[in-house]
Structure 1
Amino acid sequence: MRAKAVAAPSPAGSRLAVLTDARHTVQRLAVSFCAPRGVSGAALELLCSLLERGTRSRPSAREHAAAKAEMYGLNCGWHVRRRGDSFRLVFGATFVSPAEAGGERYAAELERFLAESVREPAFMDEGFDEGLFEVDRSNLASWLRELETQPSTRAVRRAFGLALEGDPYSRPASGTPEEAEALELAGLRELFARTAWRGRALGVSAGPLETEEAGRLLLAVTGGEARGRGTRWRPFEPPERKRRFREEGGGESDHVVVFFAPGRGARFTRTEFAAAMGVFATGSSSRIFRSIREEMGIAYGHELIRSFEKRIAAVHSAVLPGRGEDAAARIEREMEEAGRGVDAEELAVLKRESAANVLKRLDSPGGLAEMLLYHLETGGKAEGFDGEAPLRRMERVRPERAARVLSYFRAFAVYVSAAGGEGSLPER
């Protein structure tokens, strides 16, 4: 499947792409706006709430929801995505093709509604009720405070803050309660204008609409103005010596986070990174699961947090009380052993899981749009998009190459949050 570019006013500004797939009657549109460097995740999360408060012509959440329902159940909304050091504010909409709905009248109403959602949100008007802003701000701060009461979230946030101290990636993606409470409406209005009206926009649409019609909707959302360039991320520079942190965290389990980064000069592609880390620590077929869960029998579960842009990977695991140091040592050892050799069968399992995921995405407008947007966000051009390319790239990764990539990585920080009570694993 090939995409086509939509004419944009400036090479350094918006980049818009359309993928026409006549198999479907539903269209997916997504526009990703690059936020300014240094913005907090809390500010963008609060913007998402405020943007659901309606538009200038429908200045209430109820009117906004009713209008969406009238347009054949139009589903649209906002979310925040982080890539490296930068945040992106993403607007997405799924709707029935005008050819299947109300024809030209429906198409005109749809275009107007989508444009208003981005170009004329109610909270940007001076007459907006600041009491609603205060409610949303309070709700966000309460949600973030609740997150920090969870031992696993608290441990991961604390670990990243210590291990990556001073780097933008050390900050929680969704922000902190203190950051939320410090936000003001005037500042958020300026942030939204800089992000969605003047910041760089990458937009995609996938479904039955042809390039001209889908492109018109994308241009209505972005406004068609020339925009500035997006922010660039910087790989994390790990310290020369490994650092260890241990704290009393309370709860019924130890929490362990082990951070890895490659040495200088290490070269690998996104696909090679994904394959190597998948074998190492993704899912129940990974080295880490088999080791600390099945062999040692000490882990409740684990997760892999990785960033190709930052060139880091972190394994977080909740384990039995008093076994945090044992788990950390085993995780480090497993990375060293994986770097010496990857079994063909364990890589084949990962490839099958990856292929199933890609094929599922290729079969829906939402999945296609997400793949196309990712293609643009990572530097690709519309005409260079090939939906089946991820399958071929993953298939080309060989066990010896996956092992070579893992051999580049060394632990640069180990964090252990010790339990404060008794714990036990559920029976298997």
Structure 2
Amino acid sequence: MKACRHVRSILLVLALGGLLVNLPDRPARAAEVQEVVTPLGIRAYLLREPAIPFVSLAFYFEGGAAQDPEGRDGLSNMAAGLLDEGAGPYDSKAFRSALEDNAIRLSFDADRDGFSGELKTLNDTRDFAFELLRLALTEPRFDEEPVERIRGQILADLRRRETDPDYRAARAWFARAFAGHPYARPTRGTPETVAAITREDLRRFVAERLARGNLHIGVAGDITPEELIPLLDATFGALPAEPRLVPIPPVEPETRGVIVERMEIPQSVVVFGHAGIPRDDPDYYAAYVANYILGGGGFSSRLTEEIREKRGLVYSVYSYLYDARLSP
């Protein structure tokens, strides 16, 4: 009986396979994205999805950790941790409560090239959610208690990372590959630079980096262009027209040589890197697919298959394309 059940299962799979093979070809359909431009010149890309009473907004300001002043490494990262810790009439506790009580998700992040954020809200609380975002971007409080609390969290994280071989290997690689360039500096800073960041540094960050001229926006959800346009102007319209960014030259990574960071750990971590391909190169997406096959596809990648599965030499191996605006 067991054998019969197995045969029936196999036949079912084969039959389903035949059905799938014989399905008629249908043209691929890309989602329709609308470009929206407000009276103040704020540009956004909208993907409407009226089936779900929800709106998600993602935004990105050019000018990230590479813009952090020397001696203030980690400023962008610290600002990302503080913009939802009080703004306008709301102190830290009140602001966090306003988000939680209305099921609003607001977050910020920073990388070497930019400062980004996400807002997710139900339609019922949409206007209030956009107002909280406006306050966070234009009237952040940077009160002493949350500043010192977030500073303490960052310092604790930096101490923990000193015991993380992956972090130390990547940090050493960037320091060598981009020596003398802002890309060489750690995006989270060091204990010394984080300790030196002042509330005035944070206010200057907001005034100089967050502007309409370096802003990119994407929106998805149950919202029309007519509804979105006034919200965008109300939320981002008070920002300066242009940022005050320091010119940073492009850089070619120096990928020759070997750096060894010795740690008393049972396993070794190795980081390899070399010049890649710019995001605007016509072959970028071909390279993206090629990397997925090589080492970006998890357990299905060729690196994992050859080095881990067949030879048992490593626990983990992977590859990726690192997007850097100023370096291939």
Q: TM-score, normalising length from structure 1? A: 0.60
- C-alpha contact 1:54 1:64 (8 A) present in aligned 2: yes
1:231 CA drift (Å): 8.3
Whether 1:95 aligns to 2:95 is: no
1:194 CA drift (Å): 1.2
Partner of 2:3: none
Whether 1:27 aligns to 2:42 is: no
Q: Which runs of 5+ in 1 are unaligned?
A: 314-428
- C-alpha contact 2:209 2:244 (8 A) present in aligned 1: no
Partner of 2:104: 74
Partner of 2:67: 38
1:382-402 Cα shifts (integer Å, max 9, x gaps): xxxxxxxxxxxxxxxxxxxxx
Partner of 1:222: 236
1:257 CA drift (Å): 1.4
1:287-326 Cα shifts (integer Å, max 9, x gaps): 221222123312021232422446989xxxxxxxxxxxxx
1:193-236 Cα shifts (integer Å, max 9, x gaps): 11224662112221111012122222222125532598898765
Change (3 A) 1:199 1:173: farther
1:109 corresponds to which of 103, 108, 128: 128
Partner of 1:62: 93
- C-alpha contact 1:142 1:177 (8 A) present in aligned 2: no
Change (3 A) 1:181 1:244: same
Q: Which runs of 5+ in 2 are unaligned?
A: 1-30
Q: Tell me the percent identity.
A: 24
Aligned equivalents of 2:119, 2:234: Cα separation in 1: 13
Aligned equivalents of 1:113, 1:263: Cα separation in 2: 39
Aligned equivalents of 2:159, 2:258: Cα separation in 1: 27
Partner of 2:46: 18
Greater per-residue strand proportion: 1
1:150-202 Cα shifts (integer Å, max 9, x gaps): 12221221233223323433333333323212211111110111122466211
Aligned equivalents of 2:277, 2:241: Cα separation in 1: 39
Change (3 A) 1:215 1:48: same
Change (3 A) 1:217 1:9: closer
Point out the more displaced range, 304-313 or 285-294.
304-313
Partner of 1:47: 79
- C-alpha contact 1:236 1:310 (8 A) present in aligned 2: no
Whichever residue aligns with residue 136 of structure 2, its letter is S
Aligned equivalents of 1:262, 1:135: Cα separation in 2: 39
1:47-100 Cα shifts (integer Å, max 9, x gaps): 1222222122112x22112222343x12222222x3xx51x2223211111xxx
- C-alpha contact 2:303 2:318 (8 A) present in aligned 1: no
Partner of 1:393: none
Point out the more displaced range, 146-155 or 38-47.
38-47
1:149 CA drift (Å): 1.4
Aligned equivalents of 2:40, 2:178: Cα separation in 1: 37
1:23 CA drift (Å): 2.0
Secondary structure in 1 aligned to 2:57? strand
Partner of 1:279: 293
1:95-136 Cα shifts (integer Å, max 9, x gaps): 111xxx3xxxx555344333222222222xxxx3x2432232
- C-alpha contact 2:107 2:118 (8 A) present in aligned 1: yes
Instruction: Name which structure has the greater RCO, CA cutoff 8 Å, separation 6+.
Output: 1
Secondary structure in 2 aligned to 1:257? coil
Q: TM-score, normalising length from structure 2? A: 0.76
Point out the more displaced range, 274-283 or 28-37.
28-37
Whichever residue aligns with residue 67 of structure 2, its letter is G
Whether 1:190 aligns to 2:204 is: yes
Change (3 A) 1:228 1:15: farther
Whichever residue aligns with residue 286 of structure 1, its letter is S
Aligned equivalents of 2:273, 2:177: Cα separation in 1: 8
1:119 corresponds to which of 130, 135, 138: 138
Aligned alpha-carbon RMSD (Å): 3.1
- C-alpha contact 2:60 2:117 (8 A) present in aligned 1: yes
Aligned equivalents of 2:177, 2:100: Cα separation in 1: 47
1:325-358 Cα shifts (integer Å, max 9, x gaps): xxxxxxxxxxxxxxxxxxxxxxxxxxxxxxxxxx
The count of aligned residue pairs is 290
